[in-house]
Amino acid sequence: MLFAVLARKSFKRNLQYRMAHLLQNIGSLVFGFVYASIWAGIGAASPLGSYGPQGMVAYVAFNQSVLHIVLFLTNGLGLEQSVRTGHISLELMRPTPLFYQTVSREVGNIAYQALYKSVPLFIFYFLFFRLPLPSHPAVYGWTALSLLCSAYLAICLQYLIGIAALWTTESRWLFWVNYACHLLLSGFFIPLEWLPGWLRHVSAATPYPFIQYHTTRLFMGLEGPQPIIGSALWGALLTALCLGATRLARRKLEIQGG
Amino acid sequence: MLRMYRMLVIASFRSRMQHPFNFVFGTLMAAVVNVVEFSLIAVVLSRFGSVQGWSTYEVAYLYGAILLSKTLYRTVASDVHHLEKYLVSGDLDQMLTRPVPVLLALMAQNVTIYVAEFLQSAVMLAISLSVLIGSGQTSWLAVPQTLFVVLCGAIICFAIGLATATAGFWITRIRELQVITEDSARFAAQYPLSLYPKWLRYVLCTAIPVGFANYIPSLYVVRGELGGWILAATALFTAGCLALSMRFWRFGLSRYQSAGS
């Protein structure tokens, strides 16, 4: 119940900034437009494998739309800020686990971003690029489930980045490492099968392909729902890591701020 | 004026170096992000050869030129980009009472040397130019021309940044506007503008003229198209942009009303 309230509050707080986020969406549109234009330009001279030029535009358009659900989360779930201000001590004193509190807050944030950022972006791309939609209704359900798993994996990664601040005080640089890894290893811009061999192996050893690549291919009807099992396994592993890190953090707490 | 700017910059740099660990890691991570960003397109181009007739080295030239221009602008005019925090907190009031022009004071605050971006963009330009000169596509004259292009590009980036910041005197929060006028426009200019539909090309050459920061002059410098006159036209356009943005800044500053407490 408490967690639902935290998520709802976080959602409502975001509603205050709808106009600002509308402007942000214009920026996101341009980014997606650039990526799609690059593939359209390449597609003019190449068949682009099993995707085809139109398929690649659909691939990057879907990926760009869901970035607000799987990448543009609160930096370290706000934990770094809490460490800097000393507020983390209060959060750890509360009779609810830190992990579930922060996850709940971020769930509200992601729900808002999905509704006010990802959906409008996808609708725009759908109309502008005349994107194909899945014909089988089950695909929508599997894609939604896969996106939920992706969002959860992204939350766990952000939590680990945030909690690292208890040791390093500043963990902003970890946020950028995660951002860079995501761009390269998640198949966000380049389908993983087109990466050089060694990079493909690196990517396969991380959760990043389960955050975007498989979800997008599932939506495009290029693969079935089996990879969701992989997402769930990564989710379990990252949850264990998050809870373990929280346990260690309780013994490491140093009050900063004044 | 320059002496004062130098003193303020040194003081700002010293305060930054109080946290050397953050400085070193921040620099390294910025390098990683930029390298990854370009390697995305490099992987694609190495697989498919070219994008609408632009080779990997030509795209690297565009990328390096706009990155170096942006880095120069952000280094020389650091907190012009961060005017929002002064407007929200009301700290701009203090600057108005100082015996230093507000714009100069802002430019000298929190100066950051973007080592990674400087190195990366310089290396990218050096590699792409050496390959293009080596293949006979362009001559050694491209080197001084490139320095000229980068200088004009930095001034154009500054003009766009200043005009966007000035909008803050009316709307206070400018971060979202910066995403459009600075981040996404510069991102689009990293690639050949010929990729985009006409309307977007017009926008990137007029309303948010990042096209003149790299693409338009590079058509002559690395591809020998248009003619040498385009460099003179770029210089003229750059001077016009700077004059307009400075005028807008002075007008905006005269309308400033404190928002802090």
Domain boundary assignment for chain B: 2-254
Distance from CA of A34 to the nearest CA of B (A): 6
> Which DSSP letter does residue B181 get?
I
ipTM score assigned to the predicted complex: 0.78
* B 166-185 residues inside an 8 A Cβ radius of A: 173, 175-177, 179-180, 183-185
| Closest by CA position to B186, among listed B62, B72, B101, B23 | B62
| B78 contacts B109 by C-beta, under 8 angstroms | yes
Q: Which of A7-21, B109-123, B232-246 has the lowest mean pLDDT?
A: A7-21
Q: Residue B193 and residue B197: Cα distance in Å, rounded?
A: 9
Q: Is the dihedral of CA A100, A103, A105, A110 positive or negative?
A: negative
Helix, strand, coil percentages for chain A (3-state, nearest 5): 80, 0, 20
Q: Do A34 and B187 touch (CB under 8 A)?
A: yes
**B251 in reach of chain A (CB within 8 A):** no
What Cα–Cα distance (Å) separates residue B173 from each residue in B207, B234, B253?
Answer: 20, 32, 15
When the pLDDT of each residue in chain A is averaged and rounded to a whole number, the result is: 89
pLDDT at residue B150, as a whole number? 97
pLDDT at residue A68, as a whole number? 93
Contacts of A194 in chain B (CB under 8 A): 43-44, 47
What angle, rounded to 10 degrees, do the helices at B142-171 and B229-254 form? 20
List, in sequence order, every residue forming a beta bridge with B54; answer none if it has no partner: B51
Distance from CA of B76 to the nearest CA of A (A): 23
User: What pLDDT, in 10s, does the model give residues B35-80?
Assistant: 888 888 888 888 887 788 888 899 999 999 999 999 999 988 888 9
**B39 in reach of chain A (CB within 8 A):** yes
Distance from CA of B112 to the nearest CA of A (A): 16
pLDDT at residue B91, as a whole number? 86
| A182 contacts A213 by C-beta, under 8 angstroms | no
User: What pLDDT, in 10s, does the model give residues A221-258?
Assistant: 999 999 999 999 999 999 999 999 999 988 877 766 55
Choose the closest CB to B25 out of A48, A173, A199: A173
Residue B208 has which token pair? 């948010």
Q: Residue B247 and residue A89: Cα distance in Å, rounded?
A: 50
**A167 in reach of chain B (CB within 8 A):** no
**A47 in reach of chain B (CB within 8 A):** no
User: What pLDDT, in 10s, does the model give residues B119-131?
Assistant: 889 999 999 999 9
**B40 in reach of chain A (CB within 8 A):** yes
Choose the closest CB to A34 out of B52, B173, B188: B188
Distance from CA of A3 to the nearest CA of B (A): 30
Contacts of A30 in chain B (CB under 8 A): 180, 184-185, 187-188
- For A24, the closest chain B residue by CA position comes to B176
Choose the closest CB to B191 out of A34, A173, A199: A34
Q: What angle do CA B227, B48, B139 make, to 5 degrees?
A: 30
End-to-end CA gap in chain B? 31
User: What pLDDT, in 10s, does the model give residues A145-202?
Assistant: 999 999 999 999 999 999 998 887 777 788 888 998 998 899 999 999 999 999 999 9
Choose the closest CB to B40 out of A26, A189, A196: A189
Q: Is the pLDDT of residue B261 over 70?
A: no
**A202 in reach of chain B (CB within 8 A):** no
Choose the closest CB to A24 out of B19, B43, B179: B179
Q: Is the pLDDT of residue A23 over 80?
A: no
Q: Do A176 and B30 touch (CB under 8 A)?
A: yes
* B 191-210 residues inside an 8 A Cβ radius of A: 191-192, 194-197, 200
Choose the closest CB to A195 out of B30, B43, B192: B43
**A96 in reach of chain B (CB within 8 A):** no
Helix, strand or coil, per DSSP, at residue B136: coil
Best residue in A17, A42, A206 for a mutation probing chain B (most B CBs within 10 Å):
A42
Q: Do A23 and B185 touch (CB under 8 A)?
A: no
Choose the closest CB to B40 out of A33, A40, A184: A184
Distance from CA of A182 to the nearest CA of B (A): 10
Per-residue confidence band for B259, with pLDDT thresholds at 50, 70 and 90: low
Q: Do A172 and B26 touch (CB under 8 A)?
A: yes
Q: How many A×B Cβ pairs under 8 Å?
A: 99
User: What pLDDT, in 10s, does the model give residues A67-119?
Assistant: 999 999 998 898 888 888 888 888 888 888 899 989 999 999 999 999 989 99
Q: Do A42 and B43 touch (CB under 8 A)?
A: no
